[in-house]
Amino acid sequence: MGRWDNNNDEGSHYKNRGNKTRDWIRIARYAIYGGFAIVAIVVLIVFIPRAGLSVEIFETGEDLNTISIKINNNNPQEIHNVTVAFDDNKEKKQIYNSIGPFSSIFVTPDKEDLDFEKIIVTADNGKLQTTKYR
């Protein structure tokens, strides 16, 4: 007879475990896999909607009126030929050479453009374009 057919108590501690014991290594492994999955889902939910070219307008209206525009590059590659135009004013564009990956620049409009209603930012020769209304 084989090892499992004899009646000695060898290996009997495995038989008596029953359903009450848990395999802690397996539970830890699934917890780690679940944690990686949750982190991946959160990263995708946060970064995919923000990918591309985004514009934020910061305005203070106290005694001193200041306007700052933050242009974000949320792409993993550098974008080139960034132009900023206020209110479809094609003659007066602010031109920036490039913005690095996951970085931003601050832009301040000229005095005559302080009362703009929209800002148009284009990059990579028109491949990326964002319009933000005030």
Of the two residues 59 and 11, the one the predictor is more confident about is 59
pLDDT value, residue 126: 83
Same domain, 113 and 57: yes
3 part of a folded domain: no
Residues 101 and 41 in one domain: no
- Give per-residue pLDDT as tens, 23-58: 889 999 999 999 999 999 998 888 777 777 888 888
For 105-124, the pLDDT digits (tens) are 998 888 887 788 888 988 88
How high is the pLDDT of residue 30?
Answer: 96
Judgement on whether residues 63 and 110 belong to the same structural domain of the protein: yes
Residues 61 and 78 in one domain: yes
Q: Can you give the pLDDT at residue 6?
A: 53
Give the domain extent around 84. 53-133
Q: Is 65 helix (H, G, I), strand (E, B) or coil?
A: coil
Kindly give the residue spans of alpha helices, DSSP state H, lying in the chain. Answer: 12-15, 24-47
